[in-house]
Amino acid sequence: MNEYMEYLAKIIPEKDSLKLVKNEAEKYYKSHSLDDCFNMGIELYHSDNFQIQEVGIFLLGYSAHHNISALSFLKDTVSQHGSWKVQEILAMAFDNHCKIIGYNVALPLIKEWLNSDCANVRRAVSEGLRIWTSRPYFKDNPQIAIQLLSAHREDPSEYVRKSVGNALRDISKKYPELISKELSLWNLSSKEIIQVYKLANKFLDLT
């Protein structure tokens, strides 16, 4: 494990390099067992280098369908990390997990995370699955994606509301009628809902 961490420390530059982080995690995933991915993911997460931590988070996402402890670690521990950059990787790792098991199979988990008390966990879903209707299952069931996101139009976290609004805006490019119909049902009685409405309605205003 130490050798791999030393290897990463040598090849990962000081500046952000998401492409390199993703590539290294995928290479490790494809060449090692899922148990190895889980154990290495935990080890890397405890590095002082945030990009090495990110490789670890990706590995935990890859191994989560095999080891429930990986999923729990992502939800309970990684979500508490103070770096927004790390939270972006959490969202990607969650999406990878959903992709591996199938988005239809992941639906109960998606709902569970969306109803978490932790804003970072909720956002990992709304942000990680963007563009929602480009994902299998939601591509064929856009209304379900819209319903799941719209349920959080009054989320207590501005961080989550922005993600929700932007995700709905994404969907409006391909399904403007569905988003227009959904937004027409909203009671714009709070600043929180208005914020999401404006984001979701951005491209509809141009038509």
Residues 38-70: pLDDT tens digits? 999 999 999 999 999 999 999 999 999 999 999
- Answer yes or no: is 94 within a domain: no
Place of tokens 């490789």: 55
Report the CATH number that the domain containing residue 138 is assigned in CATH.
1.25.40.290
106 and 200 in a common domain: yes
| 200: its two tokens | 């979701």
93 in a structural domain:
no
In a domain, 30, yes or no: yes
Would 91 be classed as within a structural domain?
no
Q: How far apart (Å, rounded) are the C-alpha atoms in residues 4 and 12?
A: 12
| 172 and 125 in a common domain | yes
Using a 10 angstrom Cβ sphere, with 0-12 exposed, 13-18 middle and 19 or more buried, the burial of residue 34 is middle
Q: Model confidence at 206, in pLDDT bands (50, 70, 90)? A: low
Residues 190 and 125 in one domain: yes
Domain that holds residue 42: 1-86
The total number of structural domains that make up the chain: 2
Query: Is residue 107 domain-shared with residue 147, that is, in the same domain?
Result: yes
Confidence (pLDDT) at 149: 98
